[in-house]
């Protein structure tokens, strides 16, 4: 299958190709309208990550394909149109979440401080009971009583509970149904402390539990493990979890559905030595550099298209077909408070943006992460992609040299092609498209029909790649 690294090496930003990219996107929007709903596809420019490796589950061990993961984990390039992929999204997310903390307003903090002062004796009793039960106080950032509160509320009850629920419980032993044997003497002492702080318990709960959940979500992003929801890839790396919600069988069946196809019909005219004038049927004309549209390796000549087909003396039309248009949906796995697993927790970041520097109780940035969270910034990722098989094509050339062109192709068992800077072939090469040639002597035309190898059509290997026709971006903090 297509080597992603080699594919990405040759892809460049080609603003002149926007017309083509937009036409393919609009066709995919029409074909997939029922599946897309109100979230339409936007134009996408293939960059350093190449096209999408859609075979997301390794059939040898059912683990997540590292090729797919490396593609879907990217953030989006700020201000780029068409959309382009950029850095790793989790790097931006960690930077943002690391800057978030939960704090109380001035008045709420004063209320909690007063309640804790009134409950000093009961708090000391909790610390002694915990030390007697477990040998030492819990370690970590924050006061020991806060760490104890978070541990009891989040792990000594299944499902996790809250400090107000513990305080108000009429059957605390039933509520705390997962207490370790050594911790049973701690329970009544802890309940006394909660009763002593009275109505301020909700403030304590908000501070303690939100701080604990922040730490756990951040840990799952920074140091993913099996215990905190990390995803094991087929290269044995454990990474922050993403999921593909489209079953692999549905992707393969979609790619085999040739009735769902996008197409392009273009007239290519050599306007200057270095530029083509391209007219896309149903669209407008535009200019594009010669090396940015097609490259064709035929009979050892890597520049055959521009030197022998699309010349100033020839008339050239190109028809391309992208069969099997299919939507693939995916995204980061949301943080789950109940078992404190996984990593993607946007509420603290959204709240911190909203709260700013206001004197309110809630999540705030400290310090400011200096990230543009708007739709113009990089804090975004893809949540869906429309893909197809790699295209087949038909090139018709009217030329006084049509017989020579015919002979050259007949002597070439396969043809290497690049389109918009992307090689269409196996193993990152441009030497795998089969060809069939016919001529019309009365019109001095030669027609070359080019088809991708069978391995590129709904491929069944972990390095199978689909042509991206359009994408669904998500701006989670905008």
Which of 348, 382, 416 lies at the terminal end of a domain, its last residue?
382
Q: How many residues does the chain have?
A: 478
Q: Are residues 277 and 344 in the same domain?
A: no
Q: Does 351 lie in the same domain as 289?
A: no
* Residue 108, CA distances (Å) to 111, 153, 167 in order: 5, 21, 19
Q: Which of 135, 131, 120 is nearest to 192 (CA)?
A: 120
pLDDT of residue 48: 85
Q: How far apart are CA 146 and CA 237, in angstroms?
A: 34
Q: Kindly state whether residues 126 and 221 are assigned to the same domain.
A: yes
Once rounded to an integer, what is the mean pLDDT over residues 309-313? 95
Whether 407 and 470 map to the same domain: the answer is: yes
Strand locations in 142-284 (E):
231-232, 238-239, 242-244, 261-270, 275-280
Distance of CA 412 to the CA centre of its chain: 40
Task: Supply the pTM of this predicted model.
Answer: 0.89
**pLDDT value of position 16:** 62
- H-state helical runs in 11-143: 18-31, 33-36, 66-72, 89-98, 106-118, 120-134
Which structure tokens are listed for 382?
Answer: 């893809």
Q: Could you read off the pLDDT of 379-394 as tens digits, one per residue?
A: 999 999 999 999 999 9
Give the pLDDT confidence score for residue 1 in this predicted structure: 37
**pLDDT of 96 strictly over 80:** yes
For 16-65, write each residue's pLDDT tens digit.
678 899 999 999 999 999 999 999 999 999 988 989 999 999 988 999 99
Q: Is residue 444 classed exposed, middle or buried when 0-12, 13-18 and 19+ CB atoms within 10 A define those classes? A: middle
Residues 319, 343 share a domain: no
Chain-wide mean pLDDT for the chain? 92
The Cα-based distances of 111 to 192, 197, 251 in angstroms read 19, 10, 57
Whether residues 175 and 320 share a domain: the answer is no
Say if residue 304 is in the same domain as residue 426. Answer: yes
More confident residue, 421 or 266: 266
pLDDT at 429 over 70: no
Q: Cis peptide before 427, with omega less than 30 degrees from 0? A: no
d(CA 230, CA 208): 24
- The answer to whether residues 163 and 271 belong to one domain is no
Is residue 394 situated within a structural domain? yes
What φ, ψ does residue 25 adopt, rounded to 5°? -60, -45
Asked whether residue 52 is assigned to any structural domain, the reply reads yes
Is residue 176 within 8 Å of 184, Cβ to Cβ?
no
Predicted pLDDT at 431? 46
Query: Is residue 95, in this structure, part of any structural domain at all?
Result: no
Check whether residue 370 and residue 221 sit in a common domain. yes
CA 238 to chain centre: 17
Give yes or no: residues 374 and 305 share one domain: no
Rg from Cα positions in the chain: 30
Is 94 a member of any domain?
no
Structural domain range at position 306:
4-89+242-325+386-474
Residue 236 lies in a domain: no
- If asked whether residues 10 and 74 sit together in one domain, one would say yes
- Alpha-carbon distance of 322 to 20, in angstroms, equals 13
Top-confidence residue, 99 or 463: 99
Dump pLDDT digits (tens) for 116-134: 999 999 999 999 999 999 9
Which residue would you say has higher pLDDT here, 225 or 300? 225
- pLDDT value, residue 13: 46
Say how many domains are in the chain. 2
Give the pLDDT mean for 164-190.
Answer: 96
**3 state SS of 217:** helix
**17: how many CB neighbours lie within 10 A of its CB?**
21
Judge whether 143 lies within some domain.
yes
Dihedral sign (CA 196, 197, 201, 205): negative
Q: What is the reported pLDDT for 9?
A: 38
**SS3 (DSSP) at 322:** strand
263 three-state secondary structure: strand
CB hemisphere CA count around 6 (13 angstroms): 14
Same domain, 139 and 76: no
Whether 111 is covered by a domain: the verdict is yes
Choose one of 362, 382, 402: the last residue of a domain. Answer: 382
Asked if residue 437 belongs to a domain, the reply is yes
């Amino acid at each position: 299958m297509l080597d992603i690294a080699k594919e990405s090496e040759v892809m460049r930003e080609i603003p002149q190709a926007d017309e083509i990219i937009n036409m393919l996107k609009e066709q995919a929007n029409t074909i997939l309208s029922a599946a897309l709903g109100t979230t339409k596809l936007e134009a996408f420019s293939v960059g350093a990550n190449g096209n999408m490796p859609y075979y997301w589950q390794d059939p040898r061990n059912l683990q997540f394909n590292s090729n797919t993961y490396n593609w879907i984990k990217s953030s989006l390039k700020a201000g780029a149109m068409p959309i382009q992929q950029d850095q790793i999204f989790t790097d931006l997310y960690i930077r943002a979440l690391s800057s978030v903390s939960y704090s109380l307003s001035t008045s709420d903090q004063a209320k909690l401080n007063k309640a804790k002062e009134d409950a000093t004796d009961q708090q000391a009793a909790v610390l002694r009971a915990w030390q007697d039960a477990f040998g030492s106080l819990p370690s970590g950032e924050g006061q020991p009583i806060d760490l104890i509160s978070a541990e009891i509320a989040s792990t000594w009850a299944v499902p996790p509970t809250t400090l107000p629920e513990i305080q108000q419980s009429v059957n605390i032993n039933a509520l705390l149904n997962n207490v370790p044997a050594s911790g049973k003497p701690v329970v009544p002492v802890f309940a006394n402390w909660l009763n002593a702080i009275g109505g301020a318990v909700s403030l304590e709960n908000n501070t303690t539990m939100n701080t604990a959940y922040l730490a756990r979500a951040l840990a799952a992003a920074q140091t993913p493990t099996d215990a905190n929801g990390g995803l094991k890839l087929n290269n044995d790396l454990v990474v922050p979890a993403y999921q593909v919600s489209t079953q692999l069988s549905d992707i393969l069946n979609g790619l085999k559905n040739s009735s769902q196809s996008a197409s392009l019909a273009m007239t290519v005219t050599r306007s200057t030595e270095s530029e083509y004038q391209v007219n896309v049927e149903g669209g407008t004309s535009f200019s594009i550099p010669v090396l940015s549209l097609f490259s064709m390796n035929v009979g050892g000549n890597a520049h055959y298209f521009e030197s022998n087909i699309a010349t100033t003396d020839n008339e050239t039309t190109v028809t391309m077909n992208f069969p099997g248009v299919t939507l693939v949906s995916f995204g980061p796995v949301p943080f789950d408070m109940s078992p404190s697993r996984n990593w993607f927790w946007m509420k603290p970041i959204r709240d911190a943006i909203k709260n700013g520097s206001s004197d309110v109780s809630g999540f705030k940035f400290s310090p400011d992460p200096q990230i543009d969270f708007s739709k113009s910034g990089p804090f975004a990722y893809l949540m869906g992609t429309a893909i197809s098989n790699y295209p087949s094509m038909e090139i018709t050339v009217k030329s006084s040299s049509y017989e020579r062109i015919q002979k050259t192709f007949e002597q070439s068992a396969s043809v290497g092609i690049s389109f918009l800077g992307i090689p269409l072939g196996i193993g990152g090469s441009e030497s795998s498209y089969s060809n069939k040639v016919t001529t019309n002597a009365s019109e001095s035309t030669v027609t070359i029909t080019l088809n991708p190898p069978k391995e590129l059509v709904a491929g069944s290997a972990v390095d199978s790649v689909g042509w991206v026709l359009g994408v669904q971006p998500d701006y989670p903090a905008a």
